[in-house]
Structure 1
Amino acid sequence: MTDAESRAADEQRAADAELPSAERLKAFTDAVVAIAMTLLILPLMDSVTDATESSAGAWVAAEWPSLLTFMLSFVLIANFWLTHHRMFARVTHVDQGLLWLTIVWMFTIVWLPVATAITSTFDPDPIEKLLYVGSLILTSLVLTLTRVYLIRHPELHHESQDKFRDGLAVGVIITVLFGVALLLMFAIPALNYWWLFVLFLTRPIYAIVVRTRDRRTQPRA
Structure 2
Amino acid sequence: MLVTTATGTAHRYERESVEFARTFAFLDAVYAIALTLLVVNIDPPEASAWRNLSTLLASGLGWQLLGFGISFAVIAVFWRTNHRIVAGFSAITPSTITANLVAIAFVVLIPFSTQGVSDVELADEPLTVTVYALNISAAVLAQAAVFFVARHDGVLRDPLPRRADTVKFIDTLTTPIVFLASIPVAYLVGTDWARYTWALLIVIGPLSGRWAARRIARIRASAASHPAGRDVD
Instruction: Give the TM-score of the pair, scaled to structure 2.
Output: 0.74
1:19 to 12, 16, 20: 12
Distance apart, 1:15 and its partner CA: 6.2
Q: How much identity, in percent, do the aligned residues show?
A: 20
Q: Please name the residue that 2:58 is paired with.
A: 61
The answer on 1:76 being equivalent to 2:74 is: yes
Aligned residue for 1:23, secondary structure, equals: helix
Query: Equivalents in 2 of 1:18, 1:151: separation in Å?
Result: 15
Gaps of 5+ in 2: 14-18, 223-233
**2:129 equivalent in structure 1:** 129
1:148, 1:168 within 8 Å by CA — same for their partners in 2?
A: no
Between Structure 1 and Structure 2, how many residues are aligned? 203
Q: Does 1:205 align with 2:198?
A: no
Question: Cα 1:34–1:186, aligned 2, differ >3 Å: closer, same or farther?
Answer: same
Match of residue 112 from structure 1: 110
| Inter-partner Cα distance in structure 1 for 2:150 and 2:178 | 23
SS in 2 for 1:157: coil
1:153-192 aligned at under 5 Å gives the runs: 153-154=153-154, 156-162=155-161, 165=165, 167-189=168-190, 190-192=192-194
Q: Deviations over 1:31-81 (max 9, x none)?
A: 11111111111232x324x45424241112322111111100001110111
CA-CA distance at 1:211 after TM superposition:
5.8
Secondary structure of 1:35's counterpart equals helix
Q: Which structure shows the bigger proportion of residues in strand conformation?
A: 2
Of stretches 88-97 and 157-166 in structure 1, the one that deviates more from structure 2 is 157-166
Q: Quote the residue 1:94 is aligned against.
A: 92
CA positional deviation for 1:187: 3.6
Give the distance between the partners of 1:70 and 1:26, measured in 2 at CA.
Answer: 25
Q: Which residue of 2 aligns with 1:196?
A: 198
- 2:44 and 2:156 map into 1 onto residues whose CA distance is 45
Aligned equivalent of 1:40: 38
RCO comparison, higher one (Cα < 8 Å, 6+): 1
Structure 1 moving runs of 4+ over 6 Å: none
| Contact 1:173–1:202 (8 Å) recurs in 2 | yes
3-state SS of 2:171 partner: helix
Q: Is the 8 A contact 1:40 1:74 kept in 2?
A: yes
Cα gap change, 1:51 to 1:134, in 2 (>3 Å): farther
In proportion to residue count, which structure has more helix?
1
Task: For residue 83 of structure 1, report the CA deviation from its aligned partner.
Answer: 0.7
Partner Cα distance (2:11, 2:132) in 1: 40
Alpha-carbon distance in structure 1 between the residues aligned to 2:140 and 2:83: 14
Alpha carbons 2:178, 2:201 under 8 Å: kept: yes
**Conservation of the 8 A alpha-carbon contact between 1:178 and 1:199:** no
Q: Could you tell me how far 1:208 is from its partner in structure 2? A: 4.2
Q: Name the CA distance, whole Å, in 2 between partners of 1:14 and 1:39.
A: 37
